[in-house]
Structure 1
Amino acid sequence: MLILLYIFIGLAVIQLAYYLGVFGQFAFAKAQQITPKRIPISVIVCAKNEEENVVKYIPLLAEQNYPDFEIVLIDDASGDNTLEIFEQFEKQYPNVRLVKVENNEAFWGNKKYALTLGIKAAKKEYLLFTDADCYPTSKDWITAMSSQFTMQKTIVLGYGKYEKIANSFLNKIIRFENVLNTIQYFSWAKLGFPYMGLGRNMAYKREEFFNVNGFIDHMQIRTGDDELFINQAANGKNTTIAFTPESFSVSKPKTTFSAFFNQKRRQIATADYFKSADQFKLGLFYGSQLLFIITAAILFAFQFEWIIVLSIFLGRYLIAWIVVGFSAGKLKENDIKWWFPIVEIVLIFTQVNAYFTNLFSKPIQWK
């Protein structure tokens, strides 16, 4: 039991190192300022069977308060009315450019192929990405995201919120998990070790895409047009983050646990292709998190040095809660911090379940 206590203490040290040394980089960062720039921007949206969403959200993009931008709409061989709606937008808005993707036997159903065609069709040097089911939080979204570009910083990672659903515990789980993921990739980016971003809100200079030959190194992997690209192209010199409220995008969350679970499986499957160092730092965090709970439970069950164990256990949760709370405040997600201890445990075992499920079957990919 003494050895288990030492292991428990070691796991607590690892967790505190992550929360204070890494995640604290974002949690306690100074508020960001928006300094408007007049950088030419191509907003790129790839859609497949999204007629209900594009009708509502593309006009919000067209109404952005920005002096020089175009919207590149990519229809990825949709089977519904998405293409027809895009054609109407192309006629309605002079700055809309339409890219029609036909089914290609070699790249059938591959979003990366469709995005590649859209990126090549874009006329501006700076590209801003969002998904068809997303909308900006303000008319200054482009301004806020593009304001973080500099001569050196040519990749900007943004925050993609999920809509709140009243009286839904699942919604709190989804939003909390999204906040925790954002805290991680924002913090590592601030430390100079970016490893991922989300396609529903990210931007980069066109040359970054061609510097790594686009998606060619992972074209065979259906997911990762955002995560794997950033994992390959981003570094401490060229990457920054945007976290002013005006820079956020919003999308609809999953409404069933099975849909959320499948999404989690896809995320885990994609992370398997990260660089080894990034897999290690993520694995160490999640592994120590799980083992911390398990060792604490065993020590409590045998009441071994329970005062020491309880003190360390509560200390870890207090510090983690503070870091998550400050981060959630920056992301305007204050309500979820009160659910931290409960939701964290649910997420830990959901992650473990998704990981082992992936060992026996492959998750469903792009539509």
Structure 2
Amino acid sequence: MTLLDVVYYGFIAVVFIQVFFYILFFGKFAFIKPIKESHKNTGVSVIVCAKNEAENLQDFLPSIIAQNYPNFEIVLINDASTDDTLEVMEAFVAQHKNIKIVDVKNIEAFWGNKKYALTLGIKASKNEYLLFTDADCKPLSEYWIRDMCSHFNDDINIVLGYGAYSKDKKSFLNKLIRFETLVTAIQYFSFAKVGIPYMGVGRNLAYTKTAFFKANGFVNHIKVRSGDDDLFVNQTATKSNTAICFTENSFTESKPKPTFKSWLKQKRRHISTAKYYKTHHKVLLALLYCSQLLFWLFAIILLIATFKWYIVVGLFLIKFIIQYTVFAAASKNLGEQDLIILIPVLEVFLIVAQLTIFINNLISKPNYWK
């Protein structure tokens, strides 16, 4: 058997792996409609942790204050900011009775640890239902709280939402960031739908205070400075206690990073937590990424060598037809349809970026919470 034979059979294998994921995993999310649960109007605490976010709070906090929900408080956590964040928070408190401030000072044991600040904010909250977002996020609807928290019941104590990024039609980086966000969302929604939830994003995530303290909060990964969202979900989420929410009214939107360098720095922090996931999650995610990388690598080698090119082209087309079908449906669910036409280009760039981040993380530790 020649080297090209090995590559050829390897290519067939990774195509089957890819098709397996698209049909049996991603298809479970792509072809469902969002469930609109009955509205319970139970008390909700919206928690926003901010470190040097004075400008963003002024821009985005009003959209949380304006939520059309009868019973909610806003817990603003000032995590040892050195700018005017605390002053901005105090100005909002003076105008709105349902806002409280948790002013966190740095202490040596938890220096610069967002999880410590969040824990203090959670303890200060008065409601059982907790809804989290970031200081640079805004809900895209006045019914964000209503839709996200309508999924809570006696069994469901974790709700995964979608945190989008604002669009810039002229920027390729913007499309790449949004594509990565879309792919990640399709993955965590799909895995949750098939009963193996593994992560959520802090830009739009809800869980109960009871679930938080039952899991001992962030204690099990408190020394891992990132991962206040995905590691907590990975630790506590199960098939029976987790719901997904992707109604149009439930989305939040953030400002994407303006440069490749700042985006790669952000993703280094995010990806660094994956090694702490449960073993079966790591195996599935590694299998998915390796199959994507090897698909392109093997396809290029075989097509350059014109080795059984007609079969290679056929398998290539089959994979992309299935991928386009699934991603088109999933992107419609999440309002990201404009990205679909660029899937091959964006996928290649994303694979290269992720490989670069992985290598950099092996060489040096990424920076953490501001």
User: Does 2:198 align with 1:164?
Assistant: no
Q: Which of the numbers 127, 130, 136 marks the counterpart of 2:130?
A: 127
User: Does 2:216 align with 1:243?
Assistant: no
Equivalent residue, structure 1, for 2:327? 324
Aligned identity (percent) is 51
User: Does 2:287 align with 1:284?
Assistant: yes
Matches within 5 A, 1:254-333: 254-333=257-336
CA-based RMSD:
0.9
Report the TM-score, using the length of structure 1 for normalisation.
0.99
CA separation in 2, counterparts of 1:263 and 1:94?
Answer: 35
CA separation in 2, counterparts of 1:262 and 1:31?
Answer: 33
Q: Which of the numbers 340, 354, 357 marks the counterpart of 2:357?
A: 354
Deviation at 1:166, TM superposition (A): 2.6
CA separation in 2, counterparts of 1:39 and 1:192?
Answer: 27
Runs of 4+ aligned structure 1 residues displaced above 3 Å come to none
Deviation at 1:264, TM superposition (A): 1.8
Matches within 5 A, 1:169-184: 169-184=172-187
CA separation in 2, counterparts of 1:310 and 1:124?
Answer: 57
TM-superposition CA deviations, 1:252-309 (whole Å, max 9, x none): 0011011111122112211111111111111000001101111111111111111000
CA separation in 2, counterparts of 1:293 and 1:8?
Answer: 9
Deviation at 1:211, TM superposition (A): 1.1
Deviation at 1:5, TM superposition (A): 1.5
Equivalent residue, structure 2, for 1:49? 52
Deviation at 1:87, TM superposition (A): 1.1
Matches within 5 A, 1:2-13: 2-13=5-16
Q: Residue type of the partner of 2:366?
A: P
Equivalent residue, structure 2, for 1:39? 42
CA separation in 1, counterparts of 2:300 and 2:189?
Answer: 31
TM-superposition CA deviations, 1:18-51 (whole Å, max 9, x none): 0111011110112322422112100000000000
Bigger drift between 39-48 and 318-327 goes to 318-327
Q: Which of the numbers 114, 118, 137 marks the counterpart of 1:115?
A: 118
CA separation in 1, counterparts of 2:267 and 2:121?
Answer: 27
Equivalent residue, structure 2, for 1:363? 366
Equivalent residue, structure 2, for 1:341? 344
Gaps of 5+ in 2: none
User: Does 2:81 align with 1:78?
Assistant: yes
Matches within 5 A, 1:96-107: 96-107=99-110
SS in 1 for 2:110: coil
Q: Residue type of the partner of 1:161?
A: A
Q: Residue type of the partner of 1:277?
A: H
Equivalent residue, structure 1, for 2:62? 59
TM-superposition CA deviations, 1:219-240 (whole Å, max 9, x none): 1111000010000011101001
Matches within 5 A, 1:80-95: 80-95=83-98
Bigger drift between 294-303 and 176-185 goes to 294-303
Q: Residue type of the partner of 2:175?
A: K
CA contact (8 A) 2:33 2:333 kept: no
CA contact (8 A) 2:137 2:203 kept: yes
Residue-pair matches, total: 367
Report the TM-score, using the length of structure 2 for normalisation.
0.98
Deviation at 1:325, TM superposition (A): 1.0
Q: Residue type of the partner of 1:146?
A: C
Q: Residue type of the partner of 2:19?
A: L
CA separation in 2, counterparts of 1:242 and 1:41?
Answer: 16
Gaps of 5+ in 1: none
Bigger drift between 293-302 and 184-193 goes to 293-302
CA separation in 2, counterparts of 1:347 and 1:166?
Answer: 18
CA separation in 2, counterparts of 1:3 and 1:358?
Answer: 31
CA contact (8 A) 2:34 2:245 kept: no
SS in 1 for 2:123: helix
SS in 2 for 1:304: coil
Q: Residue type of the partner of 1:218?
A: H
SS in 1 for 2:332: helix
